[in-house]
Structure formats: C-alpha cells, structure tokens
Amino acid sequence: MLRRLLLATALLSAGVMGGLVLSGRMSVTSPSVAAPEPQQSAVPARPAAAALPNLSDIAERAIKASVNISSTRYVQVDPFFQLWWGGDAVVPQTSLGSGVLVSSDGLVLTNSHVVGNARNSDIRVTLADDPRELAATVIGVDQLTDLAVVKVETTGGAPLPWGDSSTLRVAEWVLAVGNPFTFSQTVTLGIVSNVNRHDPQLATYNDFIQTDAAINPGNSGGALVNSRGELVGINTMIYSQTGGYQGIGFAIPANLARGIMDELVRNGEVVRGSIGNLTLRTITASEARGNRLGDVGGVFVYNMYRSDPAYRAGIEPGDIIVRYNGVDVTEESQLQRLIAASKIGSTARVEVIRGGQRRAFEVPVVRRSAVPGRRM
C-alpha cells in the first residue's frame, strides 16, 4: 500500500514537472516582472497622389490664340551660279513658325528669327479660326532677345492673358502650343525643368525657362502656357543632337517678353546701353590660370574697336572683366544684360584683371548700335 502511494506521488510530481516544461511556464532564472507588450508606433499616412490636372479647356483657349506665321524673303542668287546654271537672279526662301495673339486688335508676338529680315520679307499670318493667310505688318524686331511683334488686321480675337513668369516653379505643368513641322495648333504637355536657365552653351542674352514639353522646329514663337491659361513664355529654341525633340526646350520668360513688346510697340526698337562692340567670352578661373591671366574668372575681352568707349577709357584686349557697376561678373550673358540696362549718357565703373592685377576704369555708356571701325 505504501509502495503504491509513493509511486503515485512520484508519477504526479513527474506529470506536473512535465506539464510545466511543455507549457513553457517554468522559469530557470530569478522571478521578474513581465515586460508590457510593445505598442505599435503611429505611422504617418502617405499623402494621396495628386490627380493630373484636366487642361483641355486651357488648351482650347491657347489654340484660339495660336497663329501660324510664314515669312518669305527674297535673296540674291550668286552671280557665278546664275551664269552657269541660269534661272532667276532673286529667289524666294520661306520659313515657317508660330506666334501668339496678345491683343484683340491683332498684335502678335513671335521670334525675330521667324520673321527674318523684316525689310525684305513678306510676312503672312494664319489665325486659328480663319483659314485665310493675312498680310502682317512688322511693328518691331529685337534680335538680341529674339523677339518680334507683327500686326494683322483683325477684330474680336481671343488673346491669351499675361502670366507672371517670376512665380513659375520647377515641376509646374505647362503647355507648349505651336506649329511643329507644319502640324498646325499642336499642343504638348510638360513641366518646368528650370526657371532661370543661363549657360555658356546657349550663348544668348536671355535667361530662359527650360521645359520638357515637346518643342520642335516650327514651334518657335509659340506660347508656353501655365495651368491657369496664362502666357508665361515664348518658345524659342531646343537643345538637340538630332535636330528634334529631346526633352530640353527653352522659352523666353513672359515678363521679359512683355517689356520688350511694349517698347517695340512704343518706339519700334529697343534702346540699350553699350560700351562698344566688344567680342567677349566667359572664362573660368582655371582657364585664366592656364593662360597666365591671373587666378580669377570672369569675361575675357577677346577683341574690340579702337573707337569703342571701353578702349578709349583704357580697357584692352586680354583684360578679364570681373565687376560692372558694383556687380560681380561671372559670365558673358550676365555682363551683356548689365551693359544693356545701363542708362545712356551715364558712366559705368568697370573692373578688370590685367596681368594678375585688378584695375578700374570709368567708361561712358552710349546708345547700342553697330559701330563701324577697325578691330584691334
């Protein structure tokens, strides 16, 4: 009886031990307070993807303000060619481009390279809602900014409202409207890639709006329109290794274009300051060191006329212009804009590096014009 009791007790103890082990509730360490269950941290909600804007209404209004421009100019045939091959002494050459209606009485803004030499060109404009070609009168041309204003006799047009190009932001939606490859009233969509593009590769006076909206030959002079239907730029050029669209297009900002247009309408030309017909080139600090011109980059004076105000004031070929009227100068287009904005009749303080030494000159500002003379 006692043996059975002891055996039962032993089996009961073994069962309890086995149960504790199997259930995993047996602690082989010192008792401790159980740690609280970890709480899930709050995860911020992902912002909802913005829906693409519906720009159909905007595009329809932009198309109504878009015009096609053809410019036919007559050029003299080489006399030697005509002697051997015959034909007319003067032959027509036609270029096609785009423009945008900016007033209800028929003012059209476009590129100067679209209208060509206004004196020898026959300009024709086709409105979006009128298949007729209308004769256009050239109001003014400004080759420095590549802008021109022409006028057609029409009433009741639907001009685009002006936008403020200074408020454009990178990645903002824009439409390019024009006549690429003669496909009339073509609309392409893209974004603003850069709002203030200036680069020695462009070799131009303007700061550009860069966009990836498709721009091709024939788009020149057409409208760049924001998502509010406002004119924010004039499509002007592309950067391409093939001659066609590669996602890098440039437009003249509307704020600049509007100012130039107003002056062309008022005066027929844009009056700018000048310190002479200098041939200039941007030079980096490393290039200056490599040519033993000092350690500072700026704008290298490559050539000039003896009659230039800059030469008469003491500036010479080989100088590096580094400062103009208190503004540090780093590239050619920047210097050209500073000079052009100078008041005619004023005196500009121009600082240069010559032989590694900084020098300053007081240069009279004259009216910009093609000054004949002898190059240095």
Q: What is the pLDDT of residue 376?
A: 46
Q: Judge if 340 and 278 occupy the same domain.
A: yes
H helices of 268-374, where?
A: 285-290, 309-313, 332-340
First-residue to last-residue Cα distance in the chain:
133
Q: Is 198 a catalytic residue?
A: no
Q: Judge if 169 and 147 occupy the same domain.
A: no
Per-residue pLDDT band for 99 (boundaries 50, 70, 90) equals very high
Per-residue pLDDT band for 61 (boundaries 50, 70, 90) equals very high
Q: Judge if 362 and 294 occupy the same domain.
A: yes
* 19 belongs to a structural domain: no
Domain's final residue, options 106, 129, 151: 151
Residue 314's domain is classified under what CATH number?
Answer: 2.30.42.10
Tell me what the pLDDT averaged over the chain comes to.
84
Q: What is the pLDDT of residue 180?
A: 96
Per-residue pLDDT band for 89 (boundaries 50, 70, 90) equals low
Average pLDDT over residues 113-138: 87
- pLDDT exceeds 50 at position 235: yes
What is d(CA 251, CA 208) in angstroms, rounded to the nearest whole number? 6
* 16 belongs to a structural domain: no
* 360 belongs to a structural domain: yes
Q: What is the pLDDT of residue 129?
A: 84
- Selecting among 66, 98, 112, 220, the annotated active-site residue is 220
Q: What is the pLDDT of residue 23?
A: 31
Q: Judge if 216 and 292 occupy the same domain.
A: no
- Selecting among 113, 142, 165, 207, the annotated active-site residue is 113
* 47 belongs to a structural domain: no
pTM of the model: 0.77
* 226 belongs to a structural domain: yes
Domain's final residue, options 151, 185, 206: 151
* 374 belongs to a structural domain: no
Q: Judge if 285 and 357 occupy the same domain.
A: yes
Q: Judge if 203 and 283 occupy the same domain.
A: no
Residue 210's domain is classified under what CATH number?
Answer: 2.40.10.10
- Selecting among 142, 146, 207, 212, the annotated active-site residue is 146
**Tokens standing for 81?**
């060619």
Q: Judge if 216 and 251 occupy the same domain.
A: yes
Q: Is 113 a catalytic residue?
A: yes
Structural domain that includes position 347 = 273-367
**Range of weakest confidence among 45-49, 94-98, 311-315:** 45-49
Q: What is the pLDDT of residue 94?
A: 79
Average pLDDT over residues 2-9: 43
SS3 track for the chain: CHHHHHHHHHHHHHHHHHHHHHHCCCCCCCCCCCCCCCCCCCCCCCCCCCCCCCCHHHHHHHHHHEEEEEEEEEEECCHHHHHHHCCCCEEEEEEEEEEEECCCCCEEEECHHHHCCHHHEEEEEEECCCCCEEECEEEEEECCCCEEEEECCCCCCCCCCECCHHHCCCCCEEEEEECHHHCCCEEEEEEEEEEEECCCCCCCCCCEEEECCCCCCCCCCCEEEECCCCEEEEEEEECCCCCCCCCCEEEEEHHHHHHHHHHHHHHCCCCCEECCCCEEEEECHHHHHHCCCCCCCEEEEEECECCCHHHHHCCCCCCEEEEECCEECCCHHHHHHHHHCCCCCCEEEEEEEECCEEEEEEEECEECCCCCCCEC
What is d(CA 67, CA 215) in angstroms, rounded to the nearest whole number? 16
How many domains, in total, are found in the chain?
3
Please write the tens of the pLDDT for every residue from 131-171.
889 999 999 999 889 999 999 998 877 899 999 999 999 99
Q: Judge if 104 and 186 occupy the same domain.
A: no
Q: What is the pLDDT of residue 309?
A: 97
* 355 belongs to a structural domain: yes
Q: What is the pLDDT of residue 4?
A: 46
Check if the beta carbon of residue 341 is closer than 8 Å to that of residue 369. no
* 376 belongs to a structural domain: no
Q: What is the pLDDT of residue 83?
A: 61
Q: Judge if 146 and 172 occupy the same domain.
A: no
Sign of the torsion formed by the C-alpha atoms of 186, 58, 229 and 172: negative
Q: Judge if 173 and 140 occupy the same domain.
A: no
**What percentage of the chain has pLDDT greater than the value 70?**
77
